[in-house]
């Protein structure tokens, strides 16, 4: 665990506590300190020069500084690693204006960004105990005195050496068993899985006892090479991780846009397309192609062999799960909205077209209802909400926004279509949270120059979800846009201009980007984000209303979403995406769905818990709720038409504006 260090920024006299090894520009952003930075942290614009007054900070490729400057303590903040407590002076050319200090005073920095890594500690009872495991066996060959069958010899040894009995056997194992035993001179590794006894009729029920099933036998000792792929099948984005089943380590992570987006942005249009001739097959092939690309990437990044992937787990909303499995989603869309099944038995992955060995099964998370899927069940599992006594609101901000309210005793859930804006969709330069995506943004309050930080600290390519939230909040606070989302053209600055989609703000000029064109945020983008945040906000308030509760009754709000490494909670409140509550009440858990999928890969107990959560949730249908529509329309404003709901935020924004004016003698 890295130790905490304190960085104090002068002349602002603002400090922030970060982990040793943190990047200095990121620490400044965390502290709410503006440093000019227009290349995303790649190191080539040279605008982020700072002077280290005391402490240790390592400069990596500060190419824009002379050896003499480095000698006296200058560093490029974006290329500097914090090694100890620091005192950092920001020279005038990097801050431009002292009013940035005033504007930022009073902002809380601690607790704004919460790493998703702490999430695993939220769940109790997650014992490392995967449902799949391997054993190496040295079997006695048959003889004239003992000509017991090959399988009996193997099972007998399993019982004797590992006390495993009552094993069912996959037929594929029998097909290859004799040959492998002899080729491998009776030294083999077996793979077993704890599986339900499949004896029920009708809808597959995953209740009841489990028993071990022998699913693979391979030559030699391969117990140390045993992997699982966990997947989050989102409407807009797919995420995957390669997990080492011997120790629980995450070996690699990868993501892809869901190629089905070409056939519709949301689940409804996908269902419509699936009903066309060959539509379902087409959509299924597309998602499987993306899964195969993710698996290839995971194997490339980790240097592991495909043969040793033993298991796949996927969490997705009900429609995505149906399409992945080739199940007809038609009746999900038609009243009374029924899925084919909520609990689906594991499926042989190769039958879906997933490029893994033939013995590998795909387990999909159970769903609750047509529009409340396995991804939300997975998120509730991963965040431990179902174990807590206190009242929690869980919000998964994605194309299909999902909300859960409850505690260890009860769970209410609802879904609202937010659209893909927070995943980069419907935003002109939107992109996934990968290298080159702008994820952090700050604007100078009087010059309106940007400070941008990209994932991977490279030249910007586009904007990811957390970046979009930051950008809109900053533009609003600085008065660059109005509460109705329109640009204040009277500012008369070169960064605000009329583009092909109406007015826009230039975040990075062509020469500062990787894409050889200016990266902008447009009024149309802002409008899409406003719709998305209004849907999420109205959904939360509607669910609270159904339970006869208020925002102030909440002990904690858990935020999930594949935004990137973090979301700035304060900025999410400023745009009215999240309710105005003390920041300590919020917890950002990153991609909760992926984490839940990982947990069940690593723990049999968690697998049972996931199934219990799905049974416990009660779904609330919002699509036909008039009060939801009213709340939605009222929320189409920044932060909201009802100023009382965001009184502190509005007050603070006014204070910022006054301070900015005071710092420049009244800019506007």
Contacts of 266 (CB under 8 A, 6+ apart): 235, 399, 400, 417, 419, 420
Q: In the bound complex, what is the minimum distance in angstroms from residue 454's beta carbon to ligand FES?
A: 9
CA nearest to 588, candidates 449, 482, 439: 439
> Dihedral of CA 570/575/578/581: which sign?
positive
Q: What is the pattern of x (binds ligand FES, CB under 6 A) and - over residues 150-189?
A: ----------------------------------------
Contact 83, 20 (CB under 8 A): yes
Q: In the bound complex, what is the minimum distance in angstroms from residue 459's beta carbon to ligand FES?
A: 9
Identify which of residues 94 and 191 has a Cβ nearer to ligand FES in the complex: 94
Q: What is the pattern of x (binds ligand FES, CB under 6 A) and - over residues 297-336?
A: ----------------------------------------
How many residues touch ligand FES (CB under 6 A)? 12
Contact 377, 610 (CB under 8 A): yes
Q: In the bound complex, what is the minimum distance in angstroms from residue 346's beta carbon to ligand FES?
A: 48
Identify which of residues 78 and 287 has a Cβ nearer to ligand FES in the complex: 78
Helices (H), 77-149: 92-95, 99-104
Q: What is the pattern of x (binds ligand FES, CB under 6 A) and - over residues 512-551?
A: ----------------------------------------
Identify which of residues 45 and 372 has a Cβ nearer to ligand FES in the complex: 45
Q: In the bound complex, what is the minimum distance in angstroms from residue 436's beta carbon to ligand FES?
A: 14
Identify which of residues 34 and 47 has a Cβ nearer to ligand FES in the complex: 47
The strands making up 132-138's β-sheet, listed across from edge to edge, are 132-138, 187-196, 210-219, 168-169
Q: Which residues pair with 99 in a beta bridge?
A: none
Identify which of residues 451 and 534 has a Cβ nearer to ligand FES in the complex: 451
Identify which of residues 287 and 438 has a Cβ nearer to ligand FES in the complex: 438
Q: In the bound complex, what is the minimum distance in angstroms from residue 91's beta carbon to ligand FES?
A: 14
Q: In the bound complex, what is the minimum distance in angstroms from residue 46's beta carbon to ligand FES?
A: 5
Contacts of 78 (CB under 8 A, 6+ apart): 23, 24, 25, 37, 39, 41, 42, 43, 48, 453, 457
Q: What is the pattern of x (binds ligand FES, CB under 6 A) and - over residues 51-70?
A: -------------x------
Q: In the bound complex, what is the minimum distance in angstroms from residue 29's beta carbon to ligand FES?
A: 11
E strand or H helix at 474: helix 465-477
CA nearest to 304, candidates 348, 356, 257, 347: 356
DSSP code string of 244-300? ETTT--EEEEEEEE-GGGGG-SSHHHHHHHHTSTTHHHHHHHHHHHHHHHHHHHHHH
Q: In the bound complex, what is the minimum distance in angstroms from residue 73's beta carbon to ligand FES?
A: 16
Query: Under rule CB under 6 A, which residues in 31-50 are in contact with ligand FES?
Result: 37, 39, 41, 43-48
Q: In the bound complex, what is the minimum distance in angstroms from residue 36's beta carbon to ligand FES?
A: 8
For 384, the token pair is 């431990």
Identify which of residues 41 and 424 has a Cβ nearer to ligand FES in the complex: 41
- Measured from the Cβ of residue 470, the count of other Cβ atoms closer than 10 Å reads 27
Identify which of residues 78 and 377 has a Cβ nearer to ligand FES in the complex: 78
Identify which of residues 44 and 432 has a Cβ nearer to ligand FES in the complex: 44
- Measured from the Cβ of residue 402, the count of other Cβ atoms closer than 10 Å reads 29
Q: Which residues pair with 503 in a beta bridge?
A: 498
Please tell me the distance from the alpha carbon of residue 176 to that of residue 262, in angstroms, as a whole number. 42
Q: In the bound complex, what is the minimum distance in angstroms from residue 394's beta carbon to ligand FES?
A: 36
Please tell me the distance from the alpha carbon of residue 499 to that of residue 516, in angstroms, as a whole number. 16
CA 518, distance to chain mean position in Å, is 27
Q: In the bound complex, what is the minimum distance in angstroms from residue 446's beta carbon to ligand FES?
A: 20
Please tell me the distance from the alpha carbon of residue 402 to that of residue 418, in angstroms, as a whole number. 9
Query: Under rule CB under 6 A, which residues in 74-133 are in contact with ligand FES?
Result: 76, 78
Identify which of residues 43 and 465 has a Cβ nearer to ligand FES in the complex: 43
Q: Which residues pair with 347 in a beta bridge?
A: 362
Identify which of residues 384 and 462 has a Cβ nearer to ligand FES in the complex: 462
Residue carrying structure tokens 């199934």 = 611
Q: In the bound complex, what is the minimum distance in angstroms from residue 45's beta carbon to ligand FES?
A: 3
Identify which of residues 62 and 617 has a Cβ nearer to ligand FES in the complex: 62
For 129, the token pair is 């105990």
**460 binds ligand FES per the rule CB under 6 A:** no
Residue ranges in contact with ligand FES by CB under 6 A: 37, 39, 41, 43-48, 64, 76, 78
């Amino acid at each position: 665990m890295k130790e905490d260090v304190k960085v104090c920024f002068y002349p602002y006299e603002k400090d922030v506590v970060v982990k040793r090894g943190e990047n200095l520009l990121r620490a400044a952003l965390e502290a709410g300190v503006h440093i000019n930075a227009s290349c995303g942290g790649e190191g080539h614009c040279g605008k982020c020069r700072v002077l280290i007054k005391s402490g240790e900070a390592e400069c990596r490729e500060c190419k824009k500084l002379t050896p003499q400057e480095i000698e006296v303590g200058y560093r490029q903040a974006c290329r500097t690693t914090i090694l100890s407590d620091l005192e950092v002076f920001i020279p005038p050319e990097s801050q431009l204006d002292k009013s940035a200090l005033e504007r930022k005073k009073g902002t809380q920095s601690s607790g704004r960004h919460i790493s998703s890594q702490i999430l695993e500690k939220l769940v109790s009872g997650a014992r490392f105990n995967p449902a799949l495991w391997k054993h190496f066996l040295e079997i006695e060959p048959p003889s004239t005195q003992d000509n017991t069958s090959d399988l009996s010899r193997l099972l007998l040894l399993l019982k004797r050496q590992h006390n495993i009995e009552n094993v069912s056997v996959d037929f594929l194992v029998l097909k290859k068993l004799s040959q492998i035993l002899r080729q491998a001179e009776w030294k083999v590794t077996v793979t077993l899985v704890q599986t339900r006894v499949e004896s029920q009729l009708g809808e597959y029920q995953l209740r009841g006892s489990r028993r071990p099933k022998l699913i693979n036998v391979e030559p030699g000792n391969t117990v140390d090479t045993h992997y699982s792929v966990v997947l989050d099948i989102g409407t807009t984005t797919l995420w995957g991780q390669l997990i080492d089943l011997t120790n629980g380590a995450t070996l690699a992570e990868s993501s892809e846009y869901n190629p089905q987006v070409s056939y519709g942005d949301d689940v409804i249009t996908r269902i419509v397309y699936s009903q066309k001739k060959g539509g379902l097959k087409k959509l299924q092939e597309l998602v499987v192609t993306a899964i195969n690309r993710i698996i290839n990437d995971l194997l490339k990044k980790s240097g592991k062999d495909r043969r040793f992937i033993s298991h796949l787990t996927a969490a997705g909303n009900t429609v995505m799960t149906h399409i992945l499995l080739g199940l007809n989603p038609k009746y999900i869309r038609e009243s009374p909205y029924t899925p084919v099944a909520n609990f689906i038995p594991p499926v042989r992955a190769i039958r879906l077209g997933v490029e893994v060995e033939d013995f590998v099964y795909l387990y999909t998370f159970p769903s609750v209802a047509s529009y409340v899927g396995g991804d939300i069940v997975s998120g509730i599992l991963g965040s431990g909400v179902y174990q807590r006594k206190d009242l929690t609101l869980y919000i998964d901000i994605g194309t299909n926004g999902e909300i859960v309210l409850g505690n260890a005793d009860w769970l209410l859930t609802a879904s609202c279509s937010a659209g893909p804006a927070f995943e980069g969709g419907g935003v002109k330069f939107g992109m996934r949270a990968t290298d080159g995506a702008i994820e952090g943004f700050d604007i100078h309050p009087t010059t309106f120059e940007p400070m941008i930080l990209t994932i991977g600290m490279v030249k910007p390519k586009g904007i990811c979800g957390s970046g979009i939230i930051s950008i809109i909040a900053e533009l609003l606070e600085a008065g660059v846009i109005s509460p109705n989302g329109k640009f204040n053209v009277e500012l008369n600055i070169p960064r605000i201009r009329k583009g092909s989609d109406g007015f826009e703000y230039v975040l990075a000029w062509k020469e500062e980007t990787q894409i050889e064109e200016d990266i902008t945020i447009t009024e149309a983008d802002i409008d899409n984000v406003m719709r998305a945040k209004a849907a999420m906000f109205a959904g939360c308030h509607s669910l609270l209303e159904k339970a006869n509760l208020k925002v102030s009754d909440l002990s904690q709000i858990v935020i999930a979403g594949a935004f990137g490494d973090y979301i700035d909670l304060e900025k999410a409140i400023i745009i009215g995406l999240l309710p105005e509550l003390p920041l300590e009440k919020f917890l950002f858990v990153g991609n909760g769905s992926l984490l839940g999928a990982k947990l069940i890969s690593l723990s049999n107990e968690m697998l049972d818990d996931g199934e219990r959560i799905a049974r416990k949730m009660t779904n609330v249908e919002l699509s036909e709720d008039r009060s939801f529509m009213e709340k939605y329309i009222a929320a189409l404003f920044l932060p909201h038409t009802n100023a009382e709901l965001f009184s502190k935020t509005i007050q603070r924004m006014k204070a910022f504006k006054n301070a900015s004016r005071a710092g420049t003698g009244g800019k506007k």
